């Protein structure tokens, strides 16, 4: 008799290994803990090694498997080394979440070139280098899933405040996702992105301290509020799992309707 189809099985990641960048807090932490709770072994990486260790320990305490690595994604050599170590530790890497990111809200006329290059390295070049390095293992295995963390600001020009480095890199991540999906699709590696709205994390702490800005954001959002980090988990798991087995090159907005209006 044919086995009964159970859609929830498609969300399980038992036997898989995952690497998440910037996993010491916020969306990266939620990505790491979610993938682990679905059964994946997780390389929890962050520039803040102590924060990465706290998240890895949280996963182990919950019965999962995780190893922490200190990784500054602006350092290409370090990405190569950590991918090697994570692959050696787990014997495979099936899932990569390119999550680490930064922002600088500065008017363009005052935006230093140094800051531009820093944002480019952290938000965009890091995703290219990590995908290339992990992608080689995925292509050799004939299977893999990459999720890039873009933003609603990668799908629009912002409008509420100046942040040209962020808008540029998050937009580039969208087309990076599409390009790589096209290149690797026939070889079993799927590449997708998420585009979250404003999420209650450290990244938006300053913004959230500005009552006028919070009101502007809430008024501009059909659902009228910021997202909680936990509300990003389902989209990440979907794109990292077999539940999305026919989905590649897609940008999933998790935005309370921001991009719809």
Ligand X SMILES: NC(=O)c1ccc[n+]([C@@H]2O[C@H](COP(=O)([O-])OP(=O)(O)OC[C@H]3O[C@@H](n4cnc5c(N)ncnc54)[C@H](O)[C@@H]3O)[C@@H](O)[C@H]2O)c1
Residues tagged active-site: 166
Residue numbers at the binding site for ligand X (CB under 6 A): 21-22, 24-28, 46-48, 51, 71-74, 99-102, 122, 149, 151, 196, 198-199, 201-204
Query: Residue 14 and residue 41: Cα distance in Å, rounded?
Result: 8
Chain Cα centroid distance, residue 246:
20
CB 241 within 8 A of CB 13: yes
Cα–Cα dist 82/80, whole Å: 6
Closest separation between CB of residue 199 and ligand X, Å? 4
Tokens representing 24? 């010491």
CB of 207 to ligand X, least distance (A): 8
The rounded distance, in Å, linking the Cα atoms of 104 and 123 is: 12
Considering beta carbons, is residue 89 or 207 the nearer one to ligand X?
207
Nearest to 213 by CA among 229, 198, 228: 198
Query: In a 3-state reduction of DSSP, which class is residue 45?
Result: strand
Label residue 216 exposed, middle or buried (CB < 10 Å: 0-12, 13-18, 19+).
Answer: middle
Q: Is the Cβ of residue 169 or residue 248 nearer to ligand X in the bound state?
A: 169
Q: Rounded to an integer, what is the distance from CA 185 to the centroid of its chain?
A: 19
Compute the least distance from the CB of residue 200 to ligand X, in Å.
7
How far apart CA 165 and CA 151 sit, in angstroms, is 13
Q: Give 25 or 33: the residue with its C-beta nearer to ligand X.
A: 25
Smallest distance, ligand X to C-beta of residue 141, A: 25
Distance separating alpha carbons of residues 207 and 214, to the nearest angstrom: 7
Q: Which residues of 155-181 are buried (b: 16+ CB within 10 A; e: fewer)?
A: beeeeeebbbbbbbbbbbbbebbbebb
Nearer to ligand X, 141 or 161 (CB): 161
CB of 221 to ligand X, least distance (A): 12
- Which CB sits closer to ligand X, 169 or 244? 169
By beta-carbon proximity to ligand X, the closer residue of 26 and 64 is: 26
CB of 123 to ligand X, least distance (A): 6
């Amino acid at each position: 008799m044919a086995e009964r189809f159970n859609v929830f099985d498609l969300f399980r990641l038992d036997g898989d290994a995952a690497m998440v960048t910037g996993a010491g807090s916020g969306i990266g932490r939620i990505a790491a803990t979610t993938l682990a709770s679905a059964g994946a072994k997780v390389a929890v990486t962050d520039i803040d090694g102590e924060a990465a260790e706290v998240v890895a320990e949280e996963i182990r305490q919950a019965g999962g498997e995780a190893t922490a690595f200190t990784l500054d994604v602006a350092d290409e050599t370090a990405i190569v080394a950590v991918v090697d170590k994570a692959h050696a530790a787990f014997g495979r890497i099936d899932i990569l979440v390119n999550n680490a990111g930064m922002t600088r809200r500065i008017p363009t006329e005052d935006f230093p070139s140094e800051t531009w290059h820093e944002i480019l390295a952290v938000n965009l070049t890091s995703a290219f280098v990590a995908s290339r390095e992990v992608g080689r293992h995925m292509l050799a295995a004939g299977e893999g899933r990459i999720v890039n963390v873009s933003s609603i600001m990668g799908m629009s020009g912002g409008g509420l405040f100046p942040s040209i480095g962020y808008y540029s890199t998050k937009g580039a991540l969208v087309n990076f996702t599409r390009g790589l999906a096209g290149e690797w699709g026939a070889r079993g590696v799927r590449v997708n992105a998420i585009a979250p709205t404003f999420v209650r994390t450290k990244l938006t702490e300053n913004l959230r301290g500005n009552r006028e800005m919070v009101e502007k954001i809430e008024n501009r959002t059909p659902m009228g509020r910021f997202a909680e980090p936990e509300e990003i988990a389902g989209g990440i798991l979907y794109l990292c799992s077999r539940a999305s087995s026919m989905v590649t090159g897609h940008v999933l907005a998790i935005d309370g309707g921001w991009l719809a209006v």
